[in-house]
Every structure is written in C-alpha cells, then in structure tokens.
Amino acid sequence: HDQDAMFVLGPGHGFPALQANLFLEGTLGHFDQSMQPNLAGIRKLCREFSWPYGFPSHSNPETPGVILEGGELGYALSTSYGAAMDNPNLLVACLIGDGEAETGPTAGAWHLNKLFNPRKDGVVLPILHLNGYKISAPTVFGRMSNYELMTLFSGYGYEPRIVDATKEGVDPHDEMAAALEWAHALVAEIRASSDKIAPRMPMIVMRTLKGWTGPKEVEGNKIEGNCLAHQTVLSEAKSDPEQLKILNHWLKSYKFNELFSELTGFGDFVGDILPDTPEKRLGMSKHAHGGDGVYKSLILPNINDFAEDAETPGTIGSSSMRRAGAYLAEVFRQNADNKNFRFMSPDETYSNKLDEIFQATSRSWQWPIMSWDKDLSQDGRVMEMLSEHNMQGLMQGYVLTGRHAMFASYEAFLQVVSSMVDQYAK
C-alpha cells in the first residue's frame, strides 16, 4: 500500500527480533558498512549483541527507526499515539506485551483513542501480543477468553480482531497478513466516512505461544508455551552436553543453511517482502529519525510583550500563570499553519490559570460533546486527560518525531512520571 509506517516495540527485551529485521532489510548496513547482510555482518550482529561498546540488550533510540527506550514497560502505546499526532499519513504499529499490558500506564493509554482525530492525525494500530506469560507467571490478559477480550476492547472504543497462532490447522502468517489488510481497509473506510463521532479504529489481539518454535521441554520442564521460555532457556549449554544437544537441534530447526549461503547471501525471499522505496523500510522512517526531514523550529513570540509591571506587589490583579496562558495562546496562533505544537495537560489547564490558551485552540475530543461542554472540539490542540503517564508518553512520541510540546504539572503529581523522564533522558 506504499504506507508510511513506523514500528514501536513495547517489550524492548524482544530487541534481537527487531535488530535482526533491521539487519535483513538493510537498514543497519546503510548506517554501518560492517553490517552488510553477509557472514561478517551476521557474526557482528550476533557477537556484539548485549556487549560492551556493541549493541544494547534492549531496543532504544540509538537504533534506526526506534523512538522508545525499551526496559521500563508500559509506555509504548502512549508514545505511539504521540508519534502519530499531526502525521496524517503515518501508521504506527505498536506491539504491546501482555505483561506490559498489566501496567497502569498501558491501561490508561487505550483511552487515547478518545482524543485522537483519525482524519487529521495518523493511525495507531495496537497489536496486543498475548503469549500468555510474563517472566514467571501467566498474564491477566492471556487467561481471558476471546469473548472477554472482544468485549473489553470494544468497550474501549476499538474494533478488535483476534489472530490466534496457537490454533491448529491455520497458517498464522496468513492470518496475520489478513488481519493487517483488514485493519488497513478499515482505517481507509473510517477516514472516508462522514460519521465523525467515536470512530472505532482497528486493533489486533495476537495469541502465540511464548518461546514459539523454541525447545519444547528442558529437564522435564515445559518451555515453549510457558513462562520458562522468558530470556535464556539453555543457560548451561556450555557445560551440559544434554543442553548443548537441545540447543543444536533447536538452532538447526530453522534450516539456516537453506536461507543463507556464504556465496550468494540471503535468497530473494528477503527482497521480495521489502518495500520498493528504501525510505519506506521500518528502520528508515523519517519520523523516527527526526531532524531535517520532519523538523520545523517553533516560532516564539517576544516574551517582553507579555510582561506586566509588578513593581508594587499585590496591585496588578494578574498572575504569572495568566500571562503564561496569554503567551502560549500566541504560540498556538503563530504556529497554527505548521501544526507542530501541542499542549499536554492532565486536567491542569483551567486550574493552573492557563485557559487563555482556549482563545487560540481547544481540547481535542472525538467522543460525544454536549452543548454545555466548554473548549472541546475534534480539532483541539490541547491534549487533556487525567493521566500524567499518558501526557508524558504523548509528549515523548511527539517530540521524538520532531515536533514541540509543553506539559503542565507541578509538585507531587510530576513525580508520577519521574521514572518515565529518567527513561527518556537515557
């Protein structure tokens, strides 16, 4: 479909899979001559994984195409919404782990669809990955029935579809491809329709086994389809001949020698699935790279124009916050055409006396608006929801894709997102 797309990986510890795909699609080789898809490149890819001065263990913004720091789980969905805002041609596919989905920040982020205008913003396609387990126990979502999942996500305002790769007799790859086609067509239909209230955007629930295609059993313990598949499953392979045998059998099961030869490299099967235009490859998204391709500097009014004479305390009947509101309204006016400024507010615009902003814009709201509601519209540029996590995630996604934003908070409430800010700083 020649769709502009970005991929946001929630469980950043799944980085080997992402890194391998960036290697195969040629993105790593594009930025680093020594990462060509040949034997030397494969060796480097494997040896320098999670290694000092090599590649990190988790996906992170140093990786081409990645904007989310992996590690602390929970922020993938709000970051994806932030990246898609004001990018009408962009589709952000966001993979959310079922362990990750148990976090408060992810639980809140599903509701960002209520603020998201599918005609003016891009599209977020959430893919909830139910492999059923986190590190050492089943997940809440993994043990929910299909009925419970469908009704939950319908209630959240999505059009959910389940892809079950654990079901016998279906090709999971065909099922997933069909689900992606369905999602793409549904988005086009919603964008073309005149019905503007509560658009039900698609989301996919994907059931797989955890450790799918890995060893079935080690020392009498179930591995594939169980939490024991998390991270290193054959940690004693170096000294235990039995584990080494299982490791050997496992790796050979991928028939690598049929997929790659030292002489001819990878077969055409890789090229066949890549987009024709190199810029459309996942690691090459201009939005993820930021910089010149997408960045426009913010026009700022002269701050002196907003000053007041406060020489005699308690006399002017104004407040610094009101003046800040007037200033921000002017920032919105001066950047209206560029559509590159947003205000993120966890229900803090009025209470912080910043409401003069609403003379220049309003709060975004896609669900029903009552006649007595104030400052709500489908086109508002203020994102307001009582979730500091959502607001910080939106801001990170928006800023990391080359735009500008401001977040209103203070005192104890800002601590709610202090670890998110740490991750962002990393």
Ligand X SMILES: Cc1ncc(C[n+]2csc(CCOP(=O)(O)OP(=O)(O)O)c2C)c(N)n1
Applying CB under 6 A, the span of 91-99, 190-198, 303-311, 373-381 interacting with ligand X comes to: 91-99
Q: Which residues, including other chains, have CB under 8 Å from residue 11's CB and lie 6 or more apart?
A: 70, 73, 95, 97, 99, 100, 129
> Does position 131 bind ligand X by CB under 6 A?
yes
Q: Does 207 sit near ligand X (CB under 6 A)? A: no
Q: Which of 135, 137, 188, 310 binds ligand X (CB under 6 A)?
A: 135
Look up residue 283 and give its DSSP letter. G
Residue 224: CB minimum distance to ligand X, A: 13
**Minimum distance, C-beta of residue 58 to ligand X, in the bound complex (Å):** 9
Nearest CB to ligand X, comparing residues 134 and 389? 134
Token duo for residue 14 = 């799944």
Report d(CA 300, CA 306) in Å as an integer: 12
Q: Least CB distance from residue 225 to ligand X, whole Å?
A: 12
Cβ–Cβ contacts within 10 Å for residue 52, how many? 5
- Candidate list 73, 203, 204, 394; residue touching ligand X; CB under 6 A: 73
Least Å distance between CB 367 and ligand X? Answer: 29
Among positions 3, 4, 13, 369, the unique one binding ligand X when judged by CB under 6 A: 13
For the bound state, the minimum distance from the C-beta of residue 229 to ligand X, rounded and expressed in Å, comes to 8
Work out how close the CB of 206 gets to ligand X at its nearest, in angstroms, rounded to a whole number. 11
Q: Is 100 in the site for ligand X (CB under 6 A)?
A: yes
Biggest alpha carbon–alpha carbon distance for the chain: 84
Select 73 or 382, whichever has its Cβ closest to ligand X. Answer: 73
Torsion of CA 398, 401, 403, 406, to 10 degrees: 30
Binding residue for ligand X (CB under 6 A) from 41, 65, 97, 380? Answer: 97
Member of 5, 6, 11, 364 binding ligand X (CB under 6 A): 11
Q: 371: which DSSP letter?
A: T
Q: How many residues bind ligand X (CB under 6 A)?
A: 19
Beta strand 265-266 pairing with 90-97: unpaired
CA distance 334 to 299: 6
User: Cβ(2)–Cβ(251) under 8 Å?
Assistant: no
Q: What is the CB-side half-sphere exposure of residue 193 using CA atoms within 13 A? A: 15
In this structure, are residues 218 and 243 in contact, taking their beta carbons and an 8 Å threshold?
A: yes
Nearer to ligand X, 18 or 73 (CB): 73
Residue 86 contacts ligand X per CB under 6 A: no
Min dist CB 12 to ligand X, Å, is 8
Q: Which of 25, 98, 384, 388 binds ligand X (CB under 6 A)?
A: 98
368: alpha, beta or left? (left if phi > 0; alpha if psi -120 to 50): beta
Residue type, 102: E
Other Cβ atoms closer than 10 A to 238: 9
Quote the DSSP letter at residue 363: E
Q: Kindly state the smallest distance separating residue 133's Cβ from ligand X, in Å.
A: 6
Tell me how far, at minimum, the Cβ of 283 lies from ligand X, in Å.
21
72 binds ligand X (CB under 6 A): yes
Q: Pick from 26, 37, 74, 202 the residue near ligand X by CB under 6 A.
A: 74
Name the segment binding ligand X (CB under 6 A); options: 49-57, 92-100, 154-162, 369-377: 92-100
Which has the closest alpha carbon to 390: 380, 405, 379, 376?
405
> Rule CB under 6 A: which residues touch ligand X?
11, 13, 71-74, 97-100, 103, 129, 131, 133-135, 139, 210, 230
